[in-house]
Amino acid sequence: MAEGERQPPPDSSEDSPPATQNFIIPKKEIHTVPDMGKWKRSQAYADYIGFILTLNEGVKGKKLTFEYKVSEEAENLVATVVPTHLAAAVPEVAVYLKESVGNSTRIDYGTGHEAAFAAFLCCLCKIGVLRVDDQIAIVFKVFNRYLEVMRKLQKTYRMEPAGSQGVWGLDDFQFLPFIWGSSQLIDHPYLEPRHFVDEKAVNENHKDYMFLECILFITEMKTGPFAEHSNQLWNISAVPSWSKVNQGLIRMYKAECLEKFPVIQHFKFGSLLPIHPVTSC
């Protein structure tokens, strides 16, 4: 990752909310295009992109089968969702989870829904349910399982891409697994970006690498030459190194997802991801 885009992992003890924090139901705050300035200056934006980049750094060079430890708090999450002493946070955090599975009326799904799930995980970190030392498990165990569920829904219900850019978009449905997946492959001894358009390389390595799993899913869902149905990815395969791919995808994610009104108009803000301007450290 470029030095200017690196951010230190948050200290979980500082991120845990005080016992007296008033949790609130998140709501939309971005109603017009000029409101995008509030979003880009907000604490929510800073916390969200910092979370994405922290996980990006955490999975660098690691396979999906990497052996990781999961903190006791994360195990409690699996058993009880949210510990009793944090029950007040449940209504606020649950909003992001509800927003993460697509629109039940339009039967569509896109990067805005994916961002809601990442925001859900970010909130769990901010209240201390997930910890900094869970970052690899957050991507490999929790987010990867979310991808599996959403792919099953996409296949079963033939969900429409929400706001799809067609062949000019990176992918019809996801973006984050390409960022974190390219980080996994940084400094790989033999897999280079050009190999992800090689069917043999994908078939032999997709179980270890999120990026290649995404490519496999695309080829299962689409027909015709890869260069035609996934033109943007085809162009990326010509980039010389995974580190450059990763840096480019982070810039692209900010520009094409986080700075696009059609995506962010649906994002909701509460006490954990607030709309107020970012506070200086």
Q: Mean pLDDT over residues 103-112, rounded?
A: 74
State residue 1's pLDDT score.
Answer: 38
Compute the distance between CA of residue 218 and CA of residue 195 in angstroms, rounded to an integer: 15
For 117-167, how does the pLDDT look when each residue is reduced to its tens digit (9 = 90+)?
999 999 999 999 998 789 999 999 999 999 998 888 878 877 776 655 544
C-alpha distance from residue 83 to each of 79, 89, 124, 136 (Å)? 9, 10, 11, 22
Mean pLDDT, the chain, rounded, equals 86
172 pLDDT above the threshold of 80? no
The per-residue DSSP string of 158-187 comes to -PEETT--GGGSS-SS-SHHHHHHHHHTTT
Threshold 0.75, pTM exceeds: yes
| Confidence band for 25, pLDDT divided at 50, 70 and 90 | very high
- 238 versus 168: the higher-pLDDT residue is 238
Q: How far apart are CA 136 and CA 86, in angstroms?
A: 24
Asked whether the beta carbons of 153 and 159 are under 8 A apart, the reply is yes
